[in-house]
Copies of this chain bind each other. A is one copy, B any other.
Amino acid sequence: MAIAQLLGDKAEAVPCPQFELVFRAVAEGKVDAAMIPVENTLHGLVHENYDHLLRFELPIVAETSVRIVHNLIACRGTTPAKVRRVFSHPVALNQCLDFFRSNPQFEKVPFYDTAGSVKMIAEEQLEGAAAIASSLAASLYGCRILKRSIEDDRQNFTRFVLLQREAVERPAGSKGYKTSLVFSTRNVSGALFRALSAFALRDISLTKIESRPLRGKPWEYLFYLDFLGHTSEPRVVNALSHLQEVADMLRVLGCYPRWS
């Protein structure tokens, strides 16, 4: 859905069983780009993908945001009264808790993927089984939606970034741009404050800051930060050079048109 929304019908979606393999497929030139979920408004960051962003060094060239609608889906012939077990990804199951509270006869069964759980109940023709997934998954595997939009919170969006092997050079135009970066600081008093001063002193707006534990160094953190601005603007050039002074490590992950 994110691919269709950002790139239209011309882009072909290539499925992949693991996020790491998606990154690898781009790095090895097997596909042109990767659409990667990085954050959900209810669940928070997709930590694994931040780790891959750092490791694979593939630039972010665009972003988009998709509203998540969870539906109760079953094979044709399965009525709501027959449903006993409901399969889906643990995050999706956790986002429909009100639905499970009012339907205590349903047992939640964690599965590796939302759409994959629809495929599984369709292929195995499992008795008394349903899945939670998008309407796209229901139509793809010839299943039926028993109940639409069963998610607890309608304000459920997932942010995706598009990655390519090479950065796309775009001049800073009239359109809004966003820049994503990652940095670490020594674990000293005021270190994060000094790092953020690089942006605050130049009136650059942050749209996100997240910390991520540093692997192998318990209780030390990397900071992931997004701000509004293009890397070719003088104030952004100055802010990055200022941040470089106070950070132990700094890497720009991408500069791309802001989705709105």
Which residue numbers of A lie inside 8 Å of B, CB to CB? Answer: 39-45, 47-48, 90, 94, 108, 110-112, 153, 155, 157, 188-190, 192-194, 196-197, 199-200, 203-213, 215-219, 221
Contacts and interface: CB of A to CB of B under 8 A. Distances in A.
A48 B94 contact: yes
A250 B210 CA distance: 19
A112 B107 CA distance: 12
Contacts of A39: 213
A209 B47 CA distance: 16
Q: How many copies does the complex hold?
A: 2
Contact of A192 (B157, B196, B211): B196
A209 B192 contact: yes
A200 B189 contact: yes
Given A44-B212, A153-B215, A155-B216, 14 more contacts: A39-B213, A42-B213, A42-B215, A44-B47, A108-B112, A110-B111, A153-B216, A188-B205, A190-B199, A190-B200, A208-B219, A208-B221, A210-B210, A210-B211
A218 to B, nearest CB: 5
Contacts of A206: 189, 192
B155 A217 contact: yes
A189 B207 contact: no
Contacts of A155: 215-218
Given A189-B200, A218-B155, A44 B41 contact: no
A219 B210 CA distance: 12
Nearest to A223: B209
A157 B215 CA distance: 11
A156 to B, nearest CB: 8
A155 B208 CA distance: 27
Contacts of A90: 90, 110
B218 A203 contact: no
**Closest 10 interchain pairs by CB?**
A193-B200, A190-B200, A189-B205, A110-B110, A41-B218, A193-B196, A41-B213, A44-B47, A155-B216, A157-B218
A211 B44 CA distance: 9
Contacts of A204: 189
A45 to B, nearest CB: 7
Contacts of A217: 155
Contacts of A44: 44-45, 47, 212-213
